[in-house]
A and B are shown apart, each in its own frame.
Chain A
């Protein structure tokens, strides 16, 4: 009931909100928006360890992940999750986070508690699982 009420209030003031900021001419783009949030294959890294990790990941993507089909429902994918986790914490914590994510990936039961992204993937950012995380993102 609360949700219905909320949607009603939001939709009734939607048009007015458009004009709560001055706006200018804006041409409609005929081109359909495509999802450009793909993997970064760049090997740029801040330190040798990160470079090594990135090289391993890119090699894995090139030879295996890109050829074996779309098997991961999450955003970021498991390998990107691992990279980001290690970068945000350290090798041990990142590995533990990755192992936990891997379990969530093979969970075939219920995945309804993840928000869905624009590209229809399940949002599951590593920040949500960091030990030192005062501002959780995601759901």
Chain B
């Protein structure tokens, strides 16, 4: 009787062990698909692990793998959904921190700046991550950088020794940026000057020409006591071109800044070797 019992127990334990090993093998297979950049299939296989993982042994690994796959497929909302699941099943503080940072990186990428900032605030308040303050500072820098706030980004990177290159880039961009209010101010005083400041010479000269012409005609009409003509030319033509001159000055400065912003981000994406979103 006894040997039969023992064999039975042995078989059961082998069976349980085998089932666990199968899940491990399956997860490794999903990871290998991920490594081969077959992200869609990696998700299928990871979902299979989750479905058969009755003891919920691999919940964190599975959700992280699915989230990473979605991110690499450019599907950020889905990635956040699974990172959030992974966050809830993190086994250690390190896993939790790493997952939260991954969510923050996605929020930076999808330009949810206030949310990313809020999440960084939360991490900063958490005593478990007191030693990670420079990591948090680093991602705050990236958040500012994506938010077109190069000055703050430079200040944050300046506090981290390893981020000196990023600091220099941010400072450089800050120097090259056009001031929108300065461009507008120039055009208020001298029509066309704001456009010339931003390098749009033809538009600046044209603006100046129209303003001089209609300004002259308005003044001339009033001097000749043709009040109706003066009001019509002044309100419908001079004012129109004067306003156009102001909005163009601001628009050109914004366009130039936007080009600079995109060129720098493109450069960082292609050339910066360090940690990035």
Asked if A23 lies at the interface with its beta carbon under 8 angstroms from chain B, I say: yes
Q: Is A27 an interface residue (CB 8 A)?
A: yes
Tell me if B201 is interfacial: C-beta within 8 Å of chain A: no
Indicate the size class of the contact surface on chain B: 35 or more
Docked Cα-Cα span, A70 to B76, in Å, equals 35
- Tell me the smallest distance from the CB of B116 to a CB of chain A, in Å: 15
A67–B248 Cα gap in the complex (Å)?
7
- Picked from A28, A32, A67, the residue with its CB within 8 Å of the CB of B258 is A32
**A28/B109 contact (C-beta < 8 A), A15-B81, A63-B206, A68-B241 known:** yes
A107 at interface by CB-CB < 8 Å = no
Docked complex Cα distance between A71 and B258 (Å): 22
Task: Determine whether the beta carbon of B73 is less than 8 Å from that of A67.
Answer: no
**Chain B residues whose CB sits within 8 angstroms of the CB of A23 once the complex forms:** 39-40, 73, 75
B22 at the interface (CB under 8 A from A): no
In the docked arrangement, what's the CA distance between A23 and B111, Å?
A: 23
CA distance A71 to B71 in the complex (A): 41
Q: Chain B contacts of A25 at CB under 8 A?
A: 37, 39, 72-73
Given A30-B266, A31-B265, answer yes or no on A67-B245 (Cβ-Cβ < 8 Å): yes
Enumerate A16-47 residues with CB–CB distance to B below 8 Å: 18-19, 22-32, 34
Number of interface residues of A (CB under 8 A): 23
Q: Mark B74-90 against chain A: 1 for CB-CB distance below 8 A, else 0.
A: 11111001000000000
CB–CB B74/A27 < 8 A: yes
Instruction: Kindly state whether residue A48 has any CB partner on chain B within 8 Å.
Output: no
The answer to whether B266 touches A18, judged by C-beta atoms less than 8 angstroms apart, is: no
Contact B243 A69 (CB under 8 A): yes
Task: State in angstroms the CA–CA spacing of A30 and B109 once bound together.
Answer: 7
Q: Is the CB of B269 within 8 A of A30?
A: yes
Chain B CB count within 10 A is highest, among A18, A27, A30, A32, for A30
Q: Decide if B247 touches A70 in the complex (CB within 8 Å).
A: yes
Q: Which residues of B contact A68 (CB under 8 A)?
A: 210, 240-241, 243-244
A-B contacts, 5 listed (Cβ < 8 Å):
A19-B40, A24-B73, A28-B109, A30-B268, A71-B240
Known contacts A18-B75, A69-B248, then 7 further A-B pairs from the complex at CB < 8 Å, ordered by chain A residue: A23-B75, A25-B72, A30-B146, A66-B203, A67-B241, A68-B210, A69-B245
- Which residues from A are CB-within-8-Å of B245? 67, 69
- Chain B, residues 135-160, CB within 8 Å of chain A (1/0): the string is 00000000000100000000000000
Residues of A within 8 A of B146 (CB): 30
Find A19's partner among B37, B43, B206, B251 (CB 8 Å cutoff): B43
Shortest distance in angstroms between B14's beta carbon and chain A's nearest beta carbon? 37
**Chain B residues within an 8 Å CB radius of A22:** 40
Contact indicator A31/B43 (Cβ below 8 Å): no
Q: How far is the CA of A30 from the CA of B71 in the complex (A)?
A: 14
Q: Within the complex, what minimum Cβ distance (angstroms) separates A65 from chain B? A: 9
What residue of chain A has the Cβ atom nearest to residue B146's Cβ? A30
Judge whether B72 and A15 touch: CB under 8 Å.
no
Distance to closest chain B CB from A8 (angstroms): 17
Which of chain A's residues has its CB closest to B70's CB?
A18
Question: Which of these, A15, A24, A32, A67, contacts B262 with CB under 8 Å?
Answer: A32
